[in-house]
Chain A
Amino acid sequence: MTSPSENPAGAAGLPAFSGSGLTKIYRTGETEVHALRGVELKIPAGEVLVLLGPSGSGKSTLLNIIGGLDRPTDGKLYYEDTELTALDEDDLTRFRRANVGFIFQFYNLIPSLTAEENVRLVTDIAEDPMGAADALALVGLAERCDHYPAQLSGGEQQRVAVARAVAKRPGVLLCDEPTGALDSATGVRVLETLAQANRELGTTVIIITHNAGIAAMAHRVFHFLDGQIARVESNANPIDPSEITW
């Protein structure tokens, strides 16, 4: 596998997401937690972006807001021309359905559905999806499509989750610690699939990780600290996931 492209087709340099003054305050009882403190951001389309930072620095909060799972307390966020912060619950659902693929640390597969059916969950409702079998083939699990999650290894389950996320040909893939529960060899396989989606489908990929090594495969790295982006690091030559050292 080669490294992710420098200039993904059809999305050159245009921001997929742009946000300003993004603030998120969680109130529990009398205490307030400022998870985001006026974040300004531009995420170019077609890039691989890694969010790095200590626990509680605001990475996951931002990812959830970008994915339409949560709303900021203040600030504006655009996806292309759409102001996400102005959408209601149903529109946000529609936005996720059409544009976003999620990958989580603990896979979140439906245990009562086989690998293929888990992918079909998404292809059933997407507008122009690839076939469920094709998506599984993409992650190298074509022959395990009839297996239930309980019959798959952790790495295989995560690859099914990746197949499920990419099957709708999403504009953006949001990955929260996708390799957190995996050993290095399996983790590399998953990352390679993400890079492949970025390269072949032009999908913007945003990865949260604690593993600084993964940053090497990104075009851009946001370093988080105390609810703000402390530093943005660009990477002219992202490396192939297989070269990442754990």
Chain B
Amino acid sequence: MKALDLKLMRDLWRMRGQALAIAVVLAAATATFVLSMGVHASLTETRDVYYARNNFADVFGSMTRAPRSVVPRIAEIPGVRRAEGSIQQYATLDFPGRVVPVRALINSIDEHGHDQLNKLTLRDGRLPRLGEAGEVVVDEAFANTNQLGPGDELDALIYGSKQRLKIVGVGLAPNFIYSIAPGVLVPDDSRFGIFWMGEKALEAATDRTEAINALSLTLDRGASQADVILAVDAILEPYGGTGAYGREDHLSHAFLDNELMQLEAMTQVIPPVFLLVSTFLVYIVLGRMIRKERTQIGLIKAFGYSNWAIGWHYLKFALAIALLATALGAAGGIWMGQAMTALYAEYYRFPFLYYHTSPGVFLAAAALSTGAAALGAMGGTQQAVRLNPAVAMSPPPPPIYRAGMIERLGQWAGFTAIGHMIVRHIARWPGRSAITVLGVALSAGLLFSTMQFLDSSRSMLDSFFYRAQRQDLTVSFTEARNSDVLYELSQMPGVLRVEPTRAIGVKISHGNKVERTSIQSTPADATLTARIDADGSEIELPPSGLMLSRQLADKLAVRPGDQVFVELLGGRRTQTFQPVVSIVEEFIGEQAYAGEETLEAIARDASPVGSAQLLIDPAQRDRILTELKEMPLVLGVTERDAAMQKFEEVIDENIFTMLFFYISFASAIAVGVVYNSARILFSERAHELATLRVLGYHRSEVGIVLLGELALLVVAAAPVGCIIGYWMAQLMTAMFSSDLFRLPFAPTRATYGYSVLIVLAAAMATAFLVALRVLRLDMVRVLKARE
């Protein structure tokens, strides 16, 4: 090994603490990068393979009822490769001894296995046989959660009549990678499952002989989805078609897409913070190292080493750190990636889902860390390269201090000599002081912006469940009913209040922008549901015209006062212009609201009741639920408390893992920054600290010089951190928002407090650790040497 490389190795070993501290910060960048890129790639590739292998459809449609003969007509539309019709029917399941409402979405399946689209993958058992009524395949997650398997039987209420279902198989399909019951936010496998039943059997059970209510199609490569949708809608119009839509509006696909988008956002926001801090750290550490080795550099140059060799020597120091960081980060990233993939596998049902990364991801991660380290090394190496050997070998000029503005402040505040030492040192090295402040602030900011997602989820929970929903139960009906059903429900003992909810499917357009959505309505005197604005206030339905959720308004680019074109999907297919009266800042979904009269005007009939909200006497809950299960007209029952609990469970399940990662990551930055600043500070001031000890200052008093400066910088970082955090959090909530839901920006003061406190604690503990070196300060040796 060359002598210069030997020096490099020993320097790295001597400065192992500082090098490791930088490597950890840099590794955090690599780890989050490898983690999110890897998980993203794993999910995308698994999804794409699954979609391709099981022929996930490109366009979907639903209608009230259409003869099977429309399918060949649709298949003839130019651009359509294949079309398949099916029946989808919600059913209520009756588990003996369980009062909670359990719902299933039953899909028809060709008994001969001729289905080509959204193909079922059997995990166990077999497909239903022709002529065997009641045979079903159930989805794997539902089967596992409810401990069901081939051979088990259960009762179901399908389309108003009771039927005994026999489970013959367990499977999964690409159109149900993510499945949630209508009206809830997170999957609950104990209350909702996907079933597949033989086509003939489901036709018989739902009175749809040779009829369908759902459609799936794949498109030829290069075909225009929009044109196909137009053509499909035209064909389905007479059959109560509610508008065909592409994958982007398909629930399962959209949720998965949303997740992928969040992973991408994570890759874009978090690693850059770590990279930035690492660059700063390399900059200050190498800068100090080169200042300290000035004489050596002069000597080495005097021996005849070229400037380039010196520059390369110091650059290698930074690159060695980057290399270590890449290795650490890759290992950490893979480990976390596996954990995260396992978590995804709980919510997203793939036949297989393994975490894997391509060499490209590691190469990109390595390039990022070496790039960041090299950038940080630039300043220092340049300084080393430019150093004239003759000048370098003479001692450096003493640092110049000047009385500045802080000075006057100091005099006014009556600083002691130690106080002056602290503030003047900060002012003497403004760049490095700023880096320390910024580094700690970024750490607090990152912690805040990640921790506030918990507030965000809670605020969403609060606004969606507590404020907007006051009912205990939501009862949906097999088909839209008239108001008699409300009376029937209100007569049940224990039902305290019943309110209808009406909803109609519409297409709303403004200019060239078109959105499929629904217009919902509640009676003017409704008390069980409310539209809640971002600030928590309740917004009344407009007496005429529409109220749009912010998400929908943004997509249509409308403001209150604009007119939109509303086409009713199904029914009388009316087309009207409606004014947008108000906009409500909602977090979930994108819908329109209107008063009952407006709704009736659009629907041109006394719009039917789609579902009912019930307020009940809690003591009668079990009895009411049992009774509802028996009612043929009831399609499904959603319990608000259960949905809310499930949502909370999901937050709580992940909260500790998340907090652990967030806090470790943020602390890594704080520790890395403060450790390096403290070590540099200590090395620069060792001589002065020893002098103070000689003059009779106690170790604790001398420690104050060190800790005081760091404390000032760290405390200054607190407000900066809050500002950075506020800004980053806004950016991240915006980036994490999608068509499905927007995240509210609703940090609590406690989150600001915790972020700052955690980071301050990590920072000061680190500073204290370095300050312990004062104990080992060798006064005699330090004073012998000339600084």
Which A residues form the contact surface with B (CB < 8 A)?
A: 64, 67, 69-70, 89-90, 93-94, 96-98, 100, 102, 104, 106, 108, 110-114, 117-118, 120-122, 124-126, 146, 148-150, 164
Contact = CB atoms under 8 A, between A and B. Distances in A.
Nearest to A181: B786
Given A113-B417, A117-B417, A121-B692, 18 more contacts: A69-B780, A94-B696, A96-B694, A102-B694, A106-B786, A108-B694, A108-B783, A111-B398, A112-B401, A112-B424, A117-B420, A120-B417, A121-B417, A122-B696, A125-B695, A125-B701, A148-B401, A150-B401
B570 to A, nearest CB: 80
A42 B608 CA distance: 113
Interface in B107-161: none
Contacts of B699: 89, 93
Interface in B274-308: none
B400 interface: yes
B417 A111 contact: no
B697 A150 contact: no
Contacts of A89: 699
A112 B425 contact: yes
Contacts of A122: 695-696
Contact of A96 (B421, B695, B786): B695
Contacts of B401: 111-112, 148, 150
A97 B697 contact: yes
A100 B696 CA distance: 8
Contacts of B701: 125
Interface in B400-444: 400-403, 416-418, 420-421, 424-425, 428
Contacts of B420: 112-113, 117
Interface residues of B, number: 31
Nearest to B410: A117
B698 interface: yes
Contacts of B417: 110, 113, 117-118, 120-121, 124
Given A104-B783, A106-B786, A113 B421 contact: yes
B97 interface: no
| A-B interface, 8 closest residue pairs, ranked by CB to CB distance from nearest | A97-B696, A112-B424, A96-B696, A150-B398, A121-B417, A120-B417, A108-B691, A117-B417
Interface in B558-599: none
Given A110-B688, A124-B416, A150-B398, A69 B694 contact: yes
Contacts of B68: none
B399 interface: yes
A156 B100 CA distance: 91
Contacts of B783: 104, 108
9 contacts: A97-B697, A104-B783, A108-B691, A108-B694, A110-B688, A112-B688, A120-B416, A150-B399, A150-B401
Nearest to B696: A97
Contact of B780 (A64, A146, A150): A64
Contacts of B786: 106
B780 A90 contact: no
Contacts of A117: 417, 420
B693 A93 contact: yes
A39 to B, nearest CB: 17
A98 B416 contact: no
B75 interface: no
Contacts of A70: 780
Contacts of B694: 67, 69, 96, 102, 108
Contacts of B424: 112-113
A56 B397 CA distance: 30
Nearest to B692: A121
A102 B397 CA distance: 24
Nearest to B400: A150
Contacts of A148: 400-402
B687 interface: yes
A112 B780 contact: no
B779 interface: yes
A8 B149 CA distance: 107
A148 B401 CA distance: 7
Contacts of A120: 416-417
Contacts of B696: 93-94, 96-98, 100, 122, 125-126
A114 B402 CA distance: 9
A182 B618 CA distance: 95
Interface string B225-254: 000000000000000000000000000000
A67 B696 CA distance: 10
B428 to A, nearest CB: 7
Nearest to B425: A112
Nearest to A100: B696
A67 to B, nearest CB: 8
Interface in B741-787: 779-780, 783, 786
Nearest to B402: A148
A121 B400 CA distance: 19
Contacts of B698: 90, 93
Nearest to A90: B698
B775 to A, nearest CB: 9
Contacts of A124: 416-418
A97 B400 CA distance: 29
A110 B780 contact: no
Contacts of A125: 695-697, 701
Nearest to B689: A110
A110 B400 contact: no
Given A148-B401, A150-B398, A102 B695 contact: yes
Nearest to A108: B691
Contacts of A146: 403
Contacts of A126: 696
Nearest to B786: A106
Nearest to A102: B694
Interface in B652-702: 687-688, 691-699, 701
Nearest to B422: A112
A114 B420 CA distance: 10
A98 B418 CA distance: 19
A69 B779 contact: yes
B702 to A, nearest CB: 10
A97 B697 CA distance: 7
Nearest to A121: B417
A110 B691 contact: yes
A106 B687 CA distance: 11
A224 B254 CA distance: 89
B421 A112 contact: yes
